[in-house]
Structure 1
Amino acid sequence: MKKLLLIALILSCFTSYAQSEAYQKQKAEKIAKGSVFTKIINRELPATIVYEDDEIIAFVPLRPQAPVHYLIVPKKEIHTINDAVEEDALVLGKLFIVAKKLAKENGIAETGYRLAMNINEDAGQSVFHLHMHFLGGEKLAPMLPRKEKE
């Protein structure tokens, strides 16, 4: 009986944290259409590019949220970090090296900057091509409001 209750509890956790059907549908449609970032990489869409090499591109987003805000994107289309494989380790690590370079170039390496990735529904991911937000140039608010301990 205890084993059955434990299995039921585990299964309920998986269904409680699943992506909504609407989000899954939207995600599948966007992936099928192809990434807007791939279109920028292929020069099918314009962007203000601040860094580029064979594996990584960085550019200003359409709606910057800080005085310095770039998207650092691997040229390989990886939909989410959950889709990364071991062979992606070097390019994923290179995202951080590019961030370090951009921080130094923008004079914010010492004052500070934020690196963030949004993965799937609860984090608000809307472009299904892995990317890192690079934000700085001012004192940034906390990422999430702090909760009081109960």
Structure 2
Amino acid sequence: MNDNDCLFCKIVAGEIPSKRVRETQRVLAFRDINPKTPTHVLVIPKDHYADVADLVHADPELAAETLAVAAAVADDEGVTGSGWRLLANSGPDAGQEVFHMHLHVFGGKPLGPMISA
């Protein structure tokens, strides 16, 4: 399933180029085009799910695989020893901009507090 107007669905389909760093049959990881840290990789299910809750309710196994790919990306990027952050914005109040569930893998420098006051 996909959404024809979804940016990430277009990346999965190859209609928009991306710098892919890891891929399974059901999950894709690629570099963010506007990285916030030295390591900034997006991890998405290839099928379209609007947010975390949508994915978890519809396909818990795919949610687990998406999380496992994120951990593998952190290992591939060499940030597991120094530390890395996994972020999923879910919904407009959380700052979600692309409504295709995605995880951000951040690392490569000290990240500071999770939320600023």
Q: TM-score normalized by structure 1?
A: 0.71
Larger Rg: 1
Q: Deviations over 1:81-102 (max 9, x none)?
A: 2323544101111122112211
Alignment-derived partner of residue 24 in structure 2: 53
Amino acid at match of 1:108: V
- Long gaps (5+) in structure 2: none
Q: Identical aligned pairs, as a percentage?
A: 34
- 1:83 matched to 2:54? The reply is yes
Alignment-derived partner of residue 111 in structure 1: 82
Q: Is the strand fraction higher in 1 or 2?
A: 2
Alignment-derived partner of residue 42 in structure 1: 13
SS in 2 for 1:45: coil
- Long gaps (5+) in structure 1: 1-30
Q: Give 1:66 shift.
A: 0.3
Aligned-partner Cα distance in 1 for 2:55–2:69: 19
Q: TM-score normalized by structure 2?
A: 0.90
CA RMSD of aligned residues (A): 1.7
Q: 1:104 to 1:81 in 2, by over 3 A?
A: closer
The number of aligned residues is 116
Alignment-derived partner of residue 67 in structure 1: 38
Aligned-partner Cα distance in 1 for 2:14–2:80: 30
Aligned-partner Cα distance in 2 for 1:67–1:92: 25
Aligned-partner Cα distance in 1 for 2:106–2:48: 22
Aligned-partner Cα distance in 1 for 2:67–2:95: 21
Q: Is the helix fraction higher in 1 or 2?
A: 1
